[in-house]
Amino acid sequence: MNRGRRIEVIAMCIASFFLAACSGDERGSTHGTGGGGRGSSGAPRPSAAPSYRVIEVTDTGVIAGNVRWQGDVPELETFEARTHRDECGASQPSRALRVSDSGGVADVVVSIDARSGAALEAPSEPVVIDNVGCRFEPHVSAVGVGWTLVLRNSDSVLHNVHGYADDDSVIDVGLPERGSDARRQLDEPGVVRLVDDAGHTWQQAWIHAFEHPYYAVSGDDGRFRIEDVPPGQYTLRLWHEGWRVVGTQAGRPRYSNPVVLSRSVTVTTEQETVVDFELSSESAEIAGD
């Protein structure tokens, strides 16, 4: 074979190699994992199909109720503050369970398993989670997927806000001084646990992200209300973070598992469906460690 012919054959082989590598042939492809985050290689994962469908909604109903405590309210732990005592004080109480004088349980997230309904509209002002007195305020938040979330520091000491969805780090923001803030968003529905990596081991808070507008967080009196629900049958789900300290992890208190309860509800047009829940010390025992 002459020299010109050899060059032509080599060029054809190189072209064939790159065409195979760029084709859909699995032998030459690199696979990501679903979910919109990052796989082990650090490459973006393809977004999953949305599980919630926006439709026109008319003739809606309401789900309302109360979360009440049954029995004696347990005494929660107090944690020693070993850093920034001038700002944080000598100790900080656990905020994992708040029960009013009348027995209402605050900071409980209630939602339905909506697959379709009204669009989730962002508020005119972003949701703010502040560091105040070396605590996250509010302790439990509910937001929409894709909403702007402001993380703020109103203390005069460094805070570093770290958010985990299961074991995945989804937020990591340093707020070095009073007035510092940062804007983030959550791109997938689910539950995010916030902690502070600046030595404030007692600091913990929760964010629930939803694709739909049918959720509520119980107030100080334990009451909740979900409005404009399309008529139909749903599973109403209650979530509470859990309040028993069962050990430590990375120097932080480790709590028992969240308490999750559910009820079947039927929503009818222009009617209020009332559903009450009860929590007790036994609820945490059943949830386990």
Residue 158: predicted pLDDT = 98
38 Cβ neighbours under 8 A, 6+ residues apart: 44, 45
Q: Is residue 16 part of a domain?
A: no
- Planar angle of CA 135, 238, 218, nearest 5 degrees: 50
Q: Is residue 211 part of a domain?
A: yes
Task: Show the tokens assigned to 143.
Answer: 């937001």
- Planar angle of CA 149, 179, 96, nearest 5 degrees: 55
Q: How does strand 190-196 pair with strand 204-210?
A: antiparallel
Q: Is residue 39 part of a domain?
A: no
For the entire predicted model, the pTM comes to 0.82
Q: How far apart (Å, rounded) are the C-alpha atoms in residues 276 and 97?
A: 18
Reduce the DSSP state of residue 24 to 3 states and report it: coil
Quick check: 62 and 272 in contact, CB under 8 A?
yes
**What is the domain extent for residue 228?**
60-287
Torsion on CA atoms 274, 139, 209, 223, rounded to nearest 10 = 10
Residue 28: predicted pLDDT = 32
Report the 10 Å Cβ neighbour count for 114.
Answer: 22
73 Cβ neighbours under 8 A, 6+ residues apart: 97, 99
Q: Is residue 4 part of a domain?
A: no
Q: Is residue 193 part of a domain?
A: yes
Kindly report the CATH number assigned to the domain that includes residue 215: 2.60.40.420
Residue 24: predicted pLDDT = 35
DSSP of 185-204, one letter per residue?
---S-EEEEEEESSS-TT-E
Q: Is residue 206 part of a domain?
A: yes
Mean pLDDT, each 10-residue run in order, the chain (289 residues)? 43 38 33 31 38 93 98 97 96 98 98 96 96 98 98 98 96 98 97 97 98 98 97 97 95 96 97 98 94
Task: Tell me the residue type at 257.
Answer: N
Q: How far apart (Å, rounded) are the C-alpha atoms in residues 160 and 234?
A: 39
Quick check: 206 and 139 in contact, CB under 8 A?
yes
Q: Is residue 209 part of a domain?
A: yes
Q: Is residue 266 part of a domain?
A: yes
User: Into how many domains does the chain fold?
Assistant: 1
Q: How far apart (Å, rounded) are the C-alpha atoms in residues 141 and 137?
A: 9
Residue 50: predicted pLDDT = 60
190 Cβ neighbours under 8 A, 6+ residues apart: 165, 208, 209
Preceding omega of 126 cis (within 30 degrees of 0):
no
Residue 250: predicted pLDDT = 87
Q: What is the pLDDT of residues 256-270, one digit of tens each?
A: 999 999 999 999 999
